[in-house]
Amino acid sequence: MGERVVLHYFNGRGKMESIRWLLTVAEVEFDEKFLDTREEYLKLVNDGKLMFQQVPLVEIDGMKLVQTKAILNYLAEKYNMHGKDLKDRVMINMYSEGLMDLMEMLMVLPFNPDPTAKLEEIAKKAKERYFPVFEKALTGPVYLVGGKLSLADVLLVECTLMLEEKCAGILKDFSAIKSFQGRMIQIPAINRFLQPASKKKPPPD
């Protein structure tokens, strides 16, 4: 049996949360080492574990992986959630990067001087720019790409749940996305992840 995956990050969502989601859906057990002090972060830097002096850091397969997109792509490949061929992968990556752009807007929301106005702007972008793309893609198909679960599906359910925390009812005009979300949260691994006391992190305050 190989060594367990280890995640190094702060005790919060941030850019590590999507990695937690993907590992959960792949049913991979992982440990977390939280950075509670600057000294702990500096030790990682001084030990040469952070290529660009940034977290997230994921230790897996004898490697120390950094950069969120690179980590997600590696995990998606490793756990067969990155499509069957190059065309599938590029579609998955396009959907995934769009979702990560949208989630990043939510990540920085607590630091905005006028979060209420910023949230309205994010919700407007979600409904006008992002959701129509996914609503169209899911009208008929069960999954976004290639008829099977992929990284893009995992990020979409994470993103929609994040938005609903802030904007209840934001999916009311997007029935295909809402149905998709309903199917996804019935997956046993996701259902467990959404329960109290799981490794899912609460919204930042």
CATH of the domain at 49: 3.40.30.10
Give residue 52's domain range: 5-80
Tell whether 103 and 35 lie within a shared domain.
Answer: no
- Look at residue 37 and tell me if it is in a domain: yes
pLDDT at 60: 95
Tell whether 54 and 115 lie within a shared domain.
Answer: no
- Look at residue 202 and tell me if it is in a domain: no
pLDDT at 1: 45
pLDDT at 2: 61
Which ranges constitute the DSSP H helices of the chain? Answer: 17-25, 38-46, 68-78, 86-107, 115-125, 131-137, 151-166, 175-184, 188-193
- Look at residue 200 and tell me if it is in a domain: no
Asked whether the beta carbons of 56 and 68 are under 8 A apart, the reply is yes
Q: Could you give the dihedral angle defined by the CA atoms of residues 10, 49, 30 and 74, in that order, rounded to the nearest 10 degrees?
A: 110
- Look at residue 55 and tell me if it is in a domain: yes
pLDDT at 147: 92
Tell whether 99 and 63 lie within a shared domain.
Answer: no
Domain count of the chain? 2
Tell whether 53 and 96 lie within a shared domain.
Answer: no
pLDDT at 116: 87
CATH of the domain at 161: 1.20.1050.10
pLDDT at 202: 82
For 87-141, the pLDDT digits (tens) are 999 999 999 999 999 999 998 888 888 888 889 999 999 999 999 999 999 998 8
- pLDDT averaged per 10 residues, the chain (length 205): 84 92 95 92 90 92 94 96 95 96 89 87 93 94 93 96 92 95 94 89 78
Token pair 């309205």 is found at 120
